[in-house]
Structure 1
Amino acid sequence: MPKQAKSSSLLNSVALITLLTPAVAVTSIVPAFAQTAVEAQDANDVIVVTARGREESVIEVPVAISVLSQDQLDAAGVSDIQNMSDYTPGFKFQNSDGQAGGRSSSALQFRGISQQVDSAASRTGAVFYDGSYVSQGIGFIPMIDLERVEVIKGPQNAYFARNTFSGAVNFVPKEPGDELEVNTELEIGIGTGRGEQVSYRGVAAIGGPVTDTIGLRVATTYERKGADYQYVNGDPNGEENNFAIFGTAVFEVTPTFRVKATGYYVDSEDTSNAQSVNATVAPGDCNLIYSGSSINGLTGELTPFTTDLSQSTQTIFCGSIPDASVFEASATGQTGNVSLNPDMAGFTSLMPDGLGNEYGAWRANLSFDWELGSGHIVKGLASRGEAELVGVQDFFYGETGDPTAESTFIFPSALGNWTQDTFFEARVASDRAKRLRYELGVSYYEQKYRNGNAFSTNFQDNEAIGIFGTVDFDITEELTISAEGRWVDDKQTLVYVGAPGVAAGNPNALATIDAQNAYNDFMPRVILSYSPHSDLNIYASWSESSLNSVATNATDFSRITQDAGLDLLPDPSVIGDFTGIQRLTSYEFGVKQRLADWLSYSIAAYYMEWDNQPFANSFVLSTTSATTLNLDGNSEYKGIDFEITLKPFDGFQLMGSVGWVDAELKELGAAGSVTTQVLCPGTSALTNGPICTAFATTSSISGGGNQPANVSEWTGAVSASYAFPIPTGDLYVRADALYLGERYQDNFAYNKIDDSWRVNLRAGADVTENFRVEAFVENLFQDKTLSAAGNTGIAFGAANTGRKAFATLPEKREVGFRLMANF
């Protein structure tokens, strides 16, 4: 591995710990007319959650969980899940993995675990809306009119079912109250250096009783985020327009029988495109020595190699990816007509007329609660939803097609994605006041997934049936043992996966068709918790989780390698259509405590082993062909999530969070052009520089001992606020500092993205009891660090002489004001 200085990382880690000691957590003070700061509270000043399908205090739940109320989200200026994740240790969400722009390829990460091969049936974490699984589109759903958001870390199979392999997020919408309530908000922001494009956001919500037994609440929002950047011809790059409406209806049929309906509709678009951040280290100027081993993906054979990067004949990234201070913008945002591959023809009528994306989603949930005379409670939930996106991306990412020409050429390519899911669940729970308590339930999930672009098509049908149950037994008044489990019968059908054209009758486009992979498994968890009083809980748990596999792409791999004249895999059955069933073993120890009204904290330490983790291995075969083979590997994770709230004196509050994860790949890795052209050149027709003989075409660099791509060892947030009374309410100031540690852009422990601090400031006043005005500055110090980078590649216009990174450009500084009124 390259020998790189770690002093910057160490100093920043020490600074972060010093700043947030003795501990850390999430969020803010909320001024007078909203809830006071710390948490979503009931009448007894206790945070109430439903992480286990019933109302409990957050301290009572023996699981690591972070809770943010809508008031806290508003106070921090958070309106989407990506910004929310900045405040939550052990959880990170990115709207895009960087290789595509906008919110078209979101990535969700719990405690460093996230899939490196995206598959609808095999996502390692899940987001729920009112308890129903949102399989696609959560990145463009606005966060408004919520009671709270619960971020639950670690496997949650028994209570949340599908794809909660490593964690779950549940959006809990507000319900109609006993009195009429109206909430409104208007926000206007002006970016600095963004072409004078203005951002604005309006929110309105109304709810209350319709009759003595029926309540209704409706909320809507329209938001425009001004473009932070421009294409070369002046078209906006990064503008977002979002419209959404949310609804909740509650019907108290009898005092013991309650029915609730919730749902949303979202229509959104953006003009985003990932752009090129170019390498800047000239040939001969990189003095790193890279040492590693190649691994043959088919045989497991390791071959050591060493590359002197000073001998490279390319302009390269020499161990780090620069920020977005200098990037190559695409020539224009307008593309004219762009068609998807033939298999996605039904999407073409929705295609945007320029670079960017169109999104749409809706969901409808119907649930009931029935309290029986015996103290038992019966619950049921039915949900149906759809999400769709279509987009056009410039696959030259701002690079020119002719190295001697001006940057006026783009390579537009269309992509389409449609998902439909149906979910049913029923459960019965015993009297919670008993010493022995239990819960039993059944669930059914069905998903149809259609995804395609110019190069590939992925059609899947997925189905899962589950039987789950829990048992809690109070050994003593303070000591409780809990056993949970879910048996699942999960079936994945590859309707059509591979090169485009098969569905359109192209006999030359070989693909995997109607391949099925079914498995059944039991996923257990055992928890021991000690709670001597209601303000302290000490717990330990062990769990095992499983997840369906992903397509190996063996059939398409075989076709492309044979077309390139390489008989590497003549029989795709050598490795099969699917990777192995993924398994996660997890151990957790945690402490939660509240001391009077001035201090509350939680700490959770964990260790996890992930077996059969899929990795995408992309092989460059010639100047005109490349292919990907998905293979199994293993990794392990250990870390700490830490949160705290301090209120040392009236009006002042300090909250923060620190997440630390030591993530390590145990074997395999992932190949790409950086492998064959930079770290071990000499293995493809696109090679420059000294020859490295360690690689066969089916080899990649072994990731053993390396940190996985896009996993930060350290993350943190700290929020300090002070409010003091004025005649009409409160005057307040608030500062947020958000830290994201350095991370590798690849699995090779080679190219790093620097760590970063993002600082936001807010100040406001209650003009009247029901009206507030606020001024804010976001990204005060104009941090330009890339939040995501999909990959590095060849500089198209410069052929073999330079490298580039695909990057989603960061948001620039914005100043603005916000008006809020509640009635």
Structure 2
Amino acid sequence: MSGKSLKTVLLATGVAFALSPIAASVAAEVNKNNDFEKITVKARKRDESIIEVPLSVKAFTADDLEEAGLAELESLADFTPNLDFQNMGNSQPGRLNSVIRFRGMDMTISTPANQTGGFFVDAVNILGGASSVSFTDIAQVEVIRGPQPVYFGRGTFGGAINYTTVTPQDEFSGQISASYSPTFGSNDMNVYVEGALTDSINARLTAFTRTQGAPFTANDGGALGEETTDGLSLILAINPNDKLSIKTRLAYSEDDDGAPSAMALSYANIGNVPVGSAITLPTNAGDFTTAFSHAWLQGDVPYFSPSTNTGFYDISIANAYFFEDQSANGIGDGTYHLSDLLAERPESGDTPSLNRIGLRSDLLAFSTDVTYYISDDLTFSGLLGYNKKDSTQIRDADQTDIQAWTLSTYLELESWSAEARLNFDNAGPLRWMIGANFSEIDQMGDVDGGWNVWDGLYSAYAPFYGADQTFLLGYGLSTGGNGLDVTNVKTAAVFGSVEYDITDMVTVVAEGRYQRDESYSQQGATTSTLGEKVELSYNDFLPRVSVIVSPDDNTNVFLSYSEAVLPGFFNDTLASLDAADLAYAQSLYPELEVEVDQEKLKAYELGFKQSALDGALWYSVVAFYQEWDNQKSSGQFPQFTNPETGYTSPIFLIATTTGSSTQTGIETEGRWMITDNLNVQFAYGYVESEYDNYTSNALRSALGLPRGTFLLANGNTLPRSPKHSAAIGLTYSDDLTAEWGYSARLDTTYRSETFADELNLTTIEGYTLTNFRLSFENNDGLALEVFCTNCLDKDGWATGRRSTDFTHPLFAATAAVVDPITPREVGVRFRYDF
């Protein structure tokens, strides 16, 4: 039976059972007082039932997070269809530049200021904070798929994740919880107290520490994969009268990580396609028969125990030149310690100090949310937010055991925003909202570069290139900076919605956002070598139109259309050409443009949501189709000479170009309280994320293609995009005695295989993970729990993508950068509520 047929049978069987007398009799046994709580979401910045909101939303309440043992976004993503979040962002390991991906939408290079998915806490964008914010004072997590610029603004091209924090109550209470796993030493502790400070002010103070122990040991004896976050937060709820409410949150946290567990596997070592193997490829010049110039891997990336360099070491130089100084009086013979060479960086930013392999980050976040009820019909809301994250990372940049390349990088992120909204709802057929928003973000540091220490790479070039390249002989050491990026973005917008009930069953919704986006960016090796500012500005209207049909109080069907944009790009190399030379270049290569247009997304969604069986069951099914145009790529074009002007282009003429792709799929999820004791939560996602028209320069060298000839990836799947993702959780709870009760929770998640690159020959094997928790709780607020994660001890790669083999001469070979699945952990946890 085919996969499609099987899914059809399962769906038909599930629907038939849900409507059958057996299901109805089971539901009748459920005490209505134990029905699932009515989940309310803020996806459109107002309280709505998850059944009623015409969006694809996956919501996790605080109880959901605790029952499943979820502590951060990376583990939550396993339970969310068509969401991919790994601490390994592009190909950099660790928590420096994590990336949120929705519905198989992958970008070649993502930065905190330019991503397809946005991260918010209390509707305030937390730039670069997705991997640093814990769930300690979170009341609910909402994963909102599809374009969300109308309400959340910039950076929500493919979707948004919003954490809603708790609102302190006036009754004094608190909680102490802790867990420990002897497997790798993972542990956490959370403490909070809350209550009334005055008649009108309630407060909650939270402190937490969380450590993921090191699951792996490198060949040099160092630990791999340890991550620690410590934090404090204070939330104030101020209610001076019945009309005015103010909620303010101030949070500070620190990340302190060891060497990451991601590693690079060279195709020269693990490949099964040898150099010289013939291949015929679709290219922009037609079908092209060529031969692999480097070894390649077809099929799954094999699993190896991770290992990279985890500590500093000495570098001994004898009869060698310093690469930047080609005179006979180059670097003197001697021994140099890696820490001293890294410390030569001219500037390191206002970021935490670090003198080891690892990462340190400081995150400060502040928000104030104001609600004022002008009348029964009219409500004013205001939102102010500020956050700053400073990070320093030192990593083994080649990500192997070879002592070849170490990189020191820093990243400063800062953003603030202000918003005002006016909502009208008189319980009649017409509802509307109008708002204004202003935000500014600053990004400075090394997004894809840093201060480099290359040890011995250059001396290795001569044997590879032969005697005609003897000028490289002897250069055993090099240091230098690259990849420094300075970006500033200011966005001003007005937005709003009009919602009208045409009949009791049919509602139409028109929502939109008009925004002006102004940005400038500079690149260089250091602050003293930054180039000229590249300024871009855009005016956009971003609509969303929905039709909602509600045949009864428990059913909603919706159809929607929405749009989103990402900033374009300025090819400064082309901009430096005079008109005649630019025209000549474009006559040779028509795809060359000085200013690349914005990326644009058009999304269509058809959803069906229903609560059934007297409230014991609710489910949602959303089908979607998306068109992603002007998707950024890049090309390396042959050197040319204009015969009329005599101008000769650079040897490496690299320019950003564009392509397109589509995403088609479904997202389904729900909850079913089968009996008073047994309930199930389920979720499934399917996505076909395919290139329609896309040229790739990244593989040109390895595939033996000449400059200007690019792989045409049309019809191939975007990297890191699993077609299938699923999760199911079963919870059984009952009383043991009059004082004690217990619950058992079993979770299984699935993620299908992904491709490592746009060629679609190399794959990351799919995997299934199983978690189990058994807890006991008494009437006095004491809970004890034993748990295991990845109980079946599945090994393999959680994610991976093609990269460069940075241990190979001139970085000309290919590798896969992969991040391993965390092995099985067993531990205990306790909680005491007072």
Task: State the Cα deviation string for residues 30-49 of structure 1 (Å, max 9, x = none).
Answer: xxxxxxxx9xx999931111
SS in 2 for 1:140: coil
Question: Unaligned regions of 5+ residues in structure 1, if any?
Answer: 1-6, 24-37, 192-196, 296-301, 401-408, 559-566, 682-694
- The match for 1:536 is 555
2:374 paired with 1:372: yes
CA distance in 1, matches of 2:441, 2:12: 43
Query: Quick one: which of 695, 718, 722 aligns to 2:732?
Result: 722
2:628 paired with 1:610: yes
- The match for 1:668 is 694
The 1:282/1:746 distance shift into structure 2, 3 A limit, reads closer
- The match for 2:400 is 398
Query: Quick one: which of 692, 696, 712 aligns to 1:702?
Result: 712
The 1:344/1:787 distance shift into structure 2, 3 A limit, reads farther
Contact 1:251 1:259 in 2 (8 A): yes
2:302 paired with 1:322: yes
CA distance in 2, matches of 1:444, 1:742: 41
- The match for 2:405 is 411
Task: State the Cα deviation string for residues 317-348 of structure 1 (Å, max 9, x = none).
Answer: 2233223x34443263675245489675335x
Q: Superposition pairs for residues 771-810 of structure 1, below 5 Å?
A: 771-794=782-805, 796=807, 803-810=814-821
CA distance in 2, matches of 1:316, 1:21: 44
- The match for 1:345 is 348
SS in 2 for 1:513: coil
Q: Superposition pairs for residues 191-210 of structure 1, below 5 Å?
A: 191=183, 197-210=184-197
SS in 2 for 1:75: helix
Query: Quick one: which of 682, 705, 714 aligns to 1:656?
Result: 682
- The match for 2:219 is 232
- Normalization by structure 2: what TM-score? 0.83
CA distance in 1, matches of 2:525, 2:8: 49
CA distance in 2, matches of 1:571, 1:518: 29
2:611 paired with 1:594: yes
Give 1:366 deviation, angstroms.
Answer: 1.4
Query: Quick one: which of 415, 427, 439 aligns to 1:445?
Result: 439
- The match for 1:61 is 53
Q: Superposition pairs for residues 298-337 of structure 1, below 5 Å?
A: 302-307=285-290, 315-323=295-303, 325-330=304-309, 332=311, 335-337=338-340
Give 1:662 deviation, angstroms.
Answer: 0.8
SS in 2 for 1:792: strand
Contact 1:184 1:820 in 2 (8 A): yes
**Root-mean-square deviation (Å):** 3.3
Amino acid at match of 1:229: F
The 1:344/1:580 distance shift into structure 2, 3 A limit, reads farther
The 1:612/1:792 distance shift into structure 2, 3 A limit, reads same
- The match for 1:822 is 833
The 1:795/1:262 distance shift into structure 2, 3 A limit, reads closer
Q: Superposition pairs for residues 42-61 of structure 1, below 5 Å?
A: 45-61=37-53
- The match for 1:480 is 507
**Amino-acid identity (%):** 22
Contact 1:165 1:545 in 2 (8 A): yes
Amino acid at match of 1:450: M
CA distance in 2, matches of 1:675, 1:492: 32
Range with greater deviation from structure 2 (171-180 or 721-730) = 721-730
CA distance in 2, matches of 1:164, 1:142: 21
Contact 1:122 1:163 in 2 (8 A): yes
Question: Unaligned regions of 5+ residues in structure 2, if any?
Answer: 16-29, 314-337, 451-480, 578-583, 640-650
Q: Superposition pairs for residues 489-500 of structure 1, below 5 Å?
A: 489-494=516-521, 496-497=522-523, 499-500=524-525
CA distance in 2, matches of 1:42, 1:434: 32
Query: Quick one: which of 191, 205, 219 aligns to 2:206?
Result: 219
Q: Which has the larger radius of gyration?
A: 2
> What is the number of residues matched between the two proteins?
741
CA distance in 1, matches of 2:750, 2:83: 13
CA distance in 1, matches of 2:536, 2:825: 49
Task: State the Cα deviation string for residues 618-644 of structure 1 (Å, max 9, x = none).
Answer: 7999xxx98864321111111100002
Give 1:465 deviation, angstroms.
Answer: 0.4
SS in 1 for 2:74: helix
- The match for 2:456 is none
Task: State the Cα deviation string for residues 190-246 of structure 1 (Å, max 9, x = none).
Answer: 22xxxxx41110011111222221111111211121111223332222111210112
Contact 1:744 1:750 in 2 (8 A): yes
- Normalization by structure 1: what TM-score? 0.84
Task: State the Cα deviation string for residues 600-634 of structure 1 (Å, max 9, x = none).
Answer: 1000001110111112557999xxx9886432111
Give 1:669 deviation, angstroms.
Answer: 3.7
CA distance in 2, matches of 1:715, 1:516: 40
Amino acid at match of 2:499: D
CA distance in 2, matches of 1:256, 1:472: 25
Give 1:753 deviation, angstroms.
Answer: 0.7
SS in 1 for 2:761: coil
- The match for 2:358 is 356
Contact 2:593 2:657 in 1 (8 A): no
Give 1:356 deviation, angstroms.
Answer: 1.3
2:295 paired with 1:270: no
Amino acid at match of 1:294: T
Amino acid at match of 1:740: R
CA distance in 2, matches of 1:413, 1:514: 26
- The match for 1:460 is 487
- The match for 2:137 is 145
The 1:758/1:84 distance shift into structure 2, 3 A limit, reads same
CA distance in 2, matches of 1:748, 1:396: 23
The 1:12/1:605 distance shift into structure 2, 3 A limit, reads closer
The 1:257/1:551 distance shift into structure 2, 3 A limit, reads same
2:237 paired with 1:246: no
CA distance in 1, matches of 2:346, 2:696: 28
Query: Quick one: which of 757, 768, 773 aligns to 1:762?
Result: 773
Contact 1:315 1:801 in 2 (8 A): no
CA distance in 2, matches of 1:179, 1:641: 40
- The match for 1:523 is 542
CA distance in 2, matches of 1:710, 1:569: 33
Give 1:451 deviation, angstroms.
Answer: 2.1
CA distance in 2, matches of 1:781, 1:19: 28
Amino acid at match of 1:658: Y
